[in-house]
Structures are given as structure tokens and as C-alpha cells.
Structure 1
């Protein structure tokens, strides 16, 4: 008797057209045969699978995430100005209600001021040498040839611009952190292509023809890092407001003085924990917006990093700001052009070229709304009761 086992069955593919309703149905049927799970809801969607090349492989259906609308949120930004209704895709009960309450507070206090203060996207190759001296001399060579390197990198892209190259020495290694502007795209693939061309030119032109690895991991792609908190990855966006004490108490049940006292305590707690974020829950609002608008949701790993800075003013009002140090978002390319995602961006007036800074400001304003609501609920004793009322769907 043979002990040979049959190889596992492969997911069906169609070499002629792998993005059709027919091949998607064949994959669902395959999964049902292999696992016994019915995919009735997964198979219901409203767009032509032919639009998906470049977004997914082995397409079989959709994951439907409920979208709630919060707002209006009044924003007084450079790019986002007016009252906005915010699409939030989530399965967490109380989330939309909490952000909605925060948006009411911010709007009744005159609206959120938002500013994009800096933006870069990185790729960080590392070059290898015989010793530290050769690596240092190489760094000097990079500085003197920066214009040529910039020309080679920018020849690969229509919109990407090489801003500067940071350098970091470690042993016989030289890490180069290429910093680009990327227009309305998030730009990770764009800067990867540009940096590869630049590194190949450097390797060819430098007398030592040094070996390199395209990513030395100090770009920290899809990972939080202190270097990105300090130097910015994606967009650095500030949302700020003066909360009027006369509005805080009746609407949120707390005073500016109470919020400031709680801020001192939570600041110390975040420091003790070594947290990447001294705020409350910026990942909640960012993730809900990212899912709704077709962002690369894994970028929440970096985008959630935030710094809250507050002041208790002499009249009892409360200045509250939050700085998102590494917000990676796009309004063009990636998943932003898909059916429901495009509709949500159009709801915000952000779809397409020219919308990325506006969308970044909306993200920051939304995060600030969530911060004010949750922080107030914890102080006022509403946090647990709200989740009990709105966040339970179990019998």
C-alpha cells in the first residue's frame, strides 16, 4: 500500500481572464467544497471584478463592513473648510456615536483648525563596506553627487520628488533614508522604484561599486518607530481647538480643569508604559476612515502614532491639540478608485488628484473628535455604560 498523499488542491485560476464574475464564483465553489463553509454573502457585490487588477489576487468576493455617518464636523483648515459628514466603517458598537458626540462638541466650539505641517515618504537602502572609514567617505560622496542621484530617482516617477537623503552610520554600514514628496498617492511603491534606480546608479558610479539592500528597515514600513515620530513619514498633521468651558460642562459633563488634571495623569501613564501615543485611541477613527475610503489599512500601524498637547487657559477654557506624526493616506491610486471607496471619498470632496492634504486634515479633525469624546466619557463615568447600551449584540 502506498503512503503517497495527493497534493492539496489549488485555488482555481483563469489564465485568460482571472478577474471575472465566473472565476470568482468558481473560487467560492472551490472553498465550499474544501471547507464546507457557505459563502452566500461573500459573493454579493455591486461592481465589475474587471476593475480589480492591481488591487487583489484570487478574487472571490467581498467583506462587507458596515458604514456609519458621523457629523457634521466643522473644520477650519487650509485645505478642508466647512461642515463634513464622516463615513466610518466599523463593527465596534458605540464608535460612531462617540465620534459623533465629539464632533458636536468641536463644532459648537467654533470648529477644528487643521494644518499639514510636513510630509515625506521614505525608502531606506543600506550600503555595505569593508570598514567604517570607507562607509563614512561614501557618505561624503553621496552629498557631493546629490543632484545626479535626484535626477535618476525622479526620472522614474511623474510626481515623486526627492527632498533629501538622511544618513546614519553603523559599523561598516551606511544607511541612507531617501525622503520624497509623493503628491496625492501614499507613495510606498513609487519611492521604492525611484530609490532602486538611484541605488543602481550609485553602485555603478561609485569607485567601490558597493553592494546594497534596498531596505535597511529604518524606513520602518508598516511598523511604528520613534524615527518617524520625530522626522515624519507620510503627513504630519495638527488638529487643534479651544474648547469652551461653557460648552464642555453641559454637553460632556466635565470641565476644562478636570480634563487638564486627567491629562497630567494619562501623560504619566503613557510615559511609564512606553507608549507610541500619549492620546486615547487615534487608531479607532483612522481605521474606520481608512476602511471606508480605500486606504491601505496596514498603514494604521504607523498612522496611529500621535502626540497630544494641551493647555488650561486662564479663563477655564481648554486648548487641545493632537499631532499625527506619520499619517499615510491617499486620494489617488491604490484602493481609492474602487466603487464604495470612491463614493466615500466623494462624500468628503476628496477623491482624485489634489485631495490628499484635505483628506489628511479631515482624518486629524476626526481623531480629535474621538479624543475629546472618549476622554470626557471616562471622566464623566459614561464609558462603560455607553458600551453596555450600544456595544452589545449578544443575546
Structure 2
């Protein structure tokens, strides 16, 4: 294979000619013969700002699950949810969970917080200067806030967390970002604020714009406690007869099983004690143009269950770091926009609605898989294995 450079155009790198040139380059330089990847139905100019070196489109199957009945503050009613995946049985499982939710009167969703961070680390000569800077940050928050917000029409700086370690101050600049996910927005705002701080606090030796305390695109205890993106809780009480009729399990058995898996989550230092929140979220993210790497934060959660005094089953999940958008980024690409429009979640004013739908979707998957992993005492069958044999790749 030669060391030829990938073809690029400084004038227009999304034209039909340069895309065709890259396709030819791939066939010349690799064993591949392109057919499916080179076919797409929308103007490649629409992908400017979303990808470089474009040569085609990955076609991931998209299925529809629903209706999902949501009783939220921003999402109210029934929603059909597009999910992009190559995992057989998954949509069938989520549909089963959604049926249980409908039969139970819907899942109640609540947005409990919003915060997108950039986390500079400020370095000083010694801990005493670091301590003094800590105090200075609080005293000058109003001015820093004004400087940061001068860079954005929608971003709002609500808090600067700060933690001293040795001669360093690790901070988290916490913003609300409207209907955008906001990582780029917060980077620009925080950089301008840091330069303003540098000029006014000469004891600072230097700073890193991201000192890794934002823990972007991975799980962390700080995100679990303080939140990143949107913090959403989804909760539901499932009548005993509904649980037994549709999931073939009693509230006591379901609660008992979750207790065991919670111990396993503790022993393995897992980021959550849920069954598979990443499954539904990844499928939703792929379909709707989210940054799929944000699953790193978004899948962390905590599950709480109990059997009520009436003998029904209560299930609650808190997702402290749901990062998603309905405006900007990949959400404006044609196919992703169509998927958002299925849920009436494209554009401004819809991000909290989408967050509530995402949380409800996770509940559907947790209920279905949570029941499916048990082994029936009489038949010695397992629904999880049987479903993959019948519908999934095992067939």
C-alpha cells in the first residue's frame, strides 16, 4: 500500500467531485469495492461541520418502538421511539417493557437538574496561593459569569465548583446550554473566562482548560453526584397483576433479583446497578444524531426498587448525566432530523422533552430484561436465551 494522502479540497471538501475522488482512492488503495457506503439521499454539504474526509454514509437499521406512555413535565402522552441498532431482540424487548408501562398508566419523569461543564485546572506556586485563589473565585463569580456568558446567546454559568489538591485548584464551570449538548459552547465560554482570570490573578502560574475533572465521555462519581447534561428520574408503580401477566414474574421475585444484582454492581465497582441502560440510549443516540461517545456518561445511573404495601412493584431510576440535544450538531442532519421529528423533538425548546423520553425508554428496557434473565422453575427455560435463539443473531 502506498503512502498517498487522502484526497482533500481546500475550496469545497463536500462536493460530488471530491467525494468521488475519495471513493476512487479507497478502491485503489484498499481491497474494498464500494457500493452501499457511497449511496445516500441528501446533500453532502449538509454534513459540513459534522465530519471530515467524507466518502459515504453508514446505513444502520432503524426500528420503531412504542408507544411509550410518558407522564412528564416536558413530555406528555404517547411517543413512538426510533432506535438504530444491529442487535436482534432488542426492540422486541423494549416494546414489551413499553406495554407494561402503558398497562400501568405511564412512567413519571422528572428533570432534577441541568449542568454542562468545562473543568479548568489552575496551578500555583504552593497550596497557600491555591487557597487564596479559591476564595477569590467566590468573591469574583459575578464578573466571571458575565465574561463567560458574553460568548454565547443561550449558555448560562450557574456555578464554579472548586477543589484544592496540593498546589492545584480543580474547577468545574457549570452551565445550562439550552437545547444544545453544549460541550463546544462551554469550552469557548470557559476559555474566555480563564484568560480574564489569568490577567487579574498574577499568582497563577498557568492553567489547563480541561484538567480532566469534567470527566467527559466516561463515568465518574462526581458526575453521579453533581450531574452532567440533564439529571432525570423516571419512576413507576406496576400493579401486581400487570407484572405477572406481561413479564411472568412477581414483584417479590423482581425485587429479590435486583437486590442480588446490586450487590454484584458494588463488588465489581460498576457505574450503575441497572441491567442495560446503554442499549436503549445508544440506539436512540444513533438514530437522533447525538454524540454517541456521550454514552460514557449517560449510561451511569442508580436503580431503586421495592414492593409496595399493596403488593405492587415500584421501580425508579435516576440518570444523572443524560447528554443529548435537539438543536445543533448532528441533530440537523436529514435522517437524524426525521427521527427527532417522529417524537416532535427537533429544534429549540425540546431538549428536556427528549431527556424525559430517553429516561422512559431506559425504564422499558430495564423492566423487560430484568424479568427475562430469570430461569422458570417448572420449564427450566430462560426468556433471555430463548428470545435470542428465536429473533436474534443466535438463529
TMscore range, shorter length: over 0.9
Q: Is the contact made by 2:388 and 2:394 (CA closer than 8 Å) also made in structure 1?
A: no
Q: Is the contact made by 1:185 and 1:330 (CA closer than 8 Å) also made in structure 2?
A: yes
Q: Is the contact made by 2:87 and 2:393 (CA closer than 8 Å) also made in structure 1?
A: no
- Relative to structure 1, the CA distance from residue 393 to residue 12 in structure 2 (aligned partners, 3 Å threshold; closer, same or farther) is farther
Which of 3, 12, 35 is the matching residue for 1:8? 3
> Does 1:159 pair with 2:157?
no
**Residue of structure 1 equivalent to 2:269:** 274
Secondary structure of the residue that 1:68 maps to in structure 2? strand
1: CA distance, partners of 2:286 / 2:72: 23
2: CA distance, partners of 1:331 / 1:286: 15
**Residue of structure 1 equivalent to 2:383:** 382
**Residue of structure 2 equivalent to 1:111:** 106
**Residue of structure 2 equivalent to 1:222:** 217
- Equivalences for residues 160-175 of structure 1 within 5 A: 160-175=155-170
**Residue of structure 1 equivalent to 2:379:** none
Number of residue equivalences: 389
**Residue of structure 2 equivalent to 1:319:** 314
Q: Is the contact made by 2:129 and 2:203 (CA closer than 8 Å) also made in structure 1?
A: no
**Residue of structure 1 equivalent to 2:26:** 31
**Residue of structure 1 equivalent to 2:244:** 249
**Residue of structure 1 equivalent to 2:393:** 392
Unaligned runs of 5+ in 1: 1-5
Q: State the 1:393 CA deviation.
A: 6.5
Q: State the 1:264 CA deviation.
A: 1.1
> Does 1:339 pair with 2:334?
yes
Deviating above 3 A after TM superposition, structure 1's stretches of 4 or more consecutive aligned residues are none
**Residue of structure 2 equivalent to 1:3:** none
> Does 1:310 pair with 2:305?
yes
> Could you list the per-position Cα deviations for residues 92-143 of structure 1 after superposition, in whole angstroms to 9, with x for gaps in the alignment?
0000000000000101110010111001000110111111011100111111
Secondary structure of the residue that 1:105 maps to in structure 2? helix
- Relative to structure 1, the CA distance from residue 267 to residue 209 in structure 2 (aligned partners, 3 Å threshold; closer, same or farther) is closer
2: CA distance, partners of 1:7 / 1:74: 56
> Could you list the per-position Cα deviations for residues 257-286 of structure 1 after superposition, in whole angstroms to 9, with x for gaps in the alignment?
110111111111111111101000000000
**Residue of structure 2 equivalent to 1:62:** 57
Q: Is the contact made by 1:68 and 1:96 (CA closer than 8 Å) also made in structure 2?
A: yes
TM-score by length of 1: 0.97
> Does 1:192 pair with 2:187?
yes
2: CA distance, partners of 1:354 / 1:392: 39
Q: Is the contact made by 2:2 and 2:29 (CA closer than 8 Å) also made in structure 1?
A: no
Q: Is the contact made by 1:307 and 1:324 (CA closer than 8 Å) also made in structure 2?
A: yes
Q: Is the contact made by 1:127 and 1:211 (CA closer than 8 Å) also made in structure 2?
A: yes
Q: State the 1:159 CA deviation.
A: 0.4
Q: Is the contact made by 2:307 and 2:314 (CA closer than 8 Å) also made in structure 1?
A: yes
Which of 83, 94, 98 is the matching residue for 1:88? 83
Q: Is the contact made by 1:202 and 1:209 (CA closer than 8 Å) also made in structure 2?
A: no
2: CA distance, partners of 1:369 / 1:319: 13
Unaligned runs of 5+ in 2: 377-381
1: CA distance, partners of 2:225 / 2:27: 49
Q: Which moved more, 1:364-373 or 1:222-231?
A: 222-231
> Could you list the per-position Cα deviations for residues 289-340 of structure 1 after superposition, in whole angstroms to 9, with x for gaps in the alignment?
0000000000001100011011110121011011111000000000000011
CA RMSD, Structure 1 to Structure 2 (Å): 1.1
> Does 1:356 pair with 2:356?
no
2: CA distance, partners of 1:375 / 1:390: 18
> Does 1:369 pair with 2:337?
no
